[in-house]
Amino acid sequence: MTSEYEGYKSPLSSRYASKEMQYLFSDQKKFSTWRQLWIWLAQAEKSLGLEISDAQIAEMQAHMNSIDFIAAAAEERLTRHDVMAHVHVFAKQCPLAAPIIHLGATSCYVGDNTDLIILRDALDLLLPRVASVIYCLKEFALKYKSQPILGFTHLQPAQLTTVGKRACLWLQDLLMDERALRRCRNDLRCRGVKGTTGTQASFLQLFNGDGAKVKQLDLEVTHLAGFAKPYGVTGQTYSRKVDVEIIGALASLGTSIHKMCSDLRILASRKELEEPFESTQIGSSAMAYKRNPMRSERCCALARHMITLFSNAANTHATQWLERTLDDSANRRLTLSEGFLSADAALLTLLNVSQGLVVYPKVIERNIAQELPFMSTENIIMAMVKAGGDRQICHEKIRVLSQEAGAQVKQHGKDNDLVDRVRKDPYFAPIINQLDTILDARTFTGRATEQVDEFVTEEVQVVLDLYRDVVKNIKVVQLNI
């Protein structure tokens, strides 16, 4: 007897993604939507005059969710055609409706329209997750908007910024992702009823050449499916450019997640900031003291997968010859599902991180103290000049003292003692009483605090206002693994 543990399971479903997102890409969702589309087609055809009875439609509705997956799999082994396999199984369950199931349609009627419905529902699930992360980071940015911290360029200490201002850099990227995903959602249309190569020829025959009725059929099915408009033209499929835009937006989201979580990993290594760490959590199997940033690492791993999926979607669209080729099918089964499942998992993990970020101000202050004396030399020179000193003499004095202090740090591993050297040098006596003010880290952060307030008010809150109900009811995310 084969154990359930002897076959491959995707970690996206067994470990990471939510049940809600998994359901959207499940067989039950897919094939029950196929049946729903057959019902909508029959309803629309009946409303436009075809001989379809209420009893036939009622029979189909009664069996919409009762799918015999075993029978369908057996049919597909015989026919090598997934849609016809399900047509046959559905027809056996609905003998009265059998003659009108899939009437005038091609396989892509159910396949592509179902994909578009699932993509729509998946975007509707992801967008509030993005908004929730934005909200939590906004709160974090405001809380720490004035907390000075070393800035870095080239991964080397640079002019100070604040913890909140740095969080706004992450926020800005996520705002762009929300905009891109929302645009994808708003731009989505239904494939509608287009026939084998998109010309609607089969439906024109059904309606005896009445093009107005065919156009109305297209619109009615589109509206029944919950879309405002159908795509004006299609080949056999809707343009795979749609997939490129959506997977592109997910890949772009992946870059934002990776950037933010890479920053968190660097800050964790400096012990300045930390993701949540549970009391029973183990950081390392060997080094018991470790507090590894495993959530941020997971986000980076999932984000890299999201980024790589873009080339799949792009190449699939590029190779859809003429009205379509079937080499898109297997690829899209992987790319679309894994794109959304990965994004769902990464966002849930990122939300957990954003809800529990821990800042260590004392460590930050200690790290600043190692670098700030060097950064303050220009301010010291300016203060001496104002007190009547010679700029060139002061510059040389500071240069010599800085070199000596640097040697203490680099060659002897000691703390930066430049300030003590300045205090002890009689030359700087005129400004000794100003040194504490000159060395106040808050005077080195420019308009960072004001920038946080302005950015949150002018840009972040505008987006969050679109998700008022979401941000009112954000729950604390608990990760299963």
Given a cut of 90, is residue 410 above it in pLDDT?
A: no
Report the alpha-carbon distance of residue 225 to residue 242 in Å, rounded.
Answer: 18
Which residue's structure tokens are 């003429």?
A: 322
For the chain, state the CA radius of gyration: 31
Given a cut of 70, is residue 287 above it in pLDDT?
A: no
pLDDT at 295 (0 to 100):
95
pLDDT in tens, 104-149: 999 999 999 999 999 999 999 999 999 999 999 999 999 999 999 9
Closest CA to 138 of 439, 473, 463, 441: 463
Which amino acid is residue 5, in one-letter code?
A: Y
- Average pLDDT of the chain? 92
- Which tokens go with 88? 């046959």
Query: What residues does 13 pair with on adjacent strands?
Result: none
| Residue 475: pLDDT band with limits 50, 70, 90 | confident
Domains by residue range for the chain, with CATH: 14-93 (1.10.275.10), 107-277+288-360 (1.20.200.10), 363-443 (1.10.40.30)
Given a cut of 50, is residue 288 above it in pLDDT?
A: no
How many helices (H) does the chain have, and how many strands (E)?
Answer: 21, 4
Query: What residues does 157 pair with on adjacent strands?
Result: 152
**Entry field: residues in the chain:** 481
Q: 332 and 243 in contact (C-beta within 8 Å)?
A: yes
Q: 225 and 113 in contact (C-beta within 8 Å)?
A: yes
pLDDT at 402 (0 to 100):
87
Average pLDDT rounded to a whole number, residues 290-306: 92
Report the alpha-carbon distance of residue 136 to residue 451 in Å, rounded.
Answer: 18
Cα 97-102-108 angle, rounded to 5 deg: 155
| DSSP secondary structure code for residue 113 in this structure | H
Active site residues: 154, 284
Report the alpha-carbon distance of residue 233 to residue 220 in Å, rounded.
Answer: 16
Which amino acid is residue 219, in one-letter code?
A: L
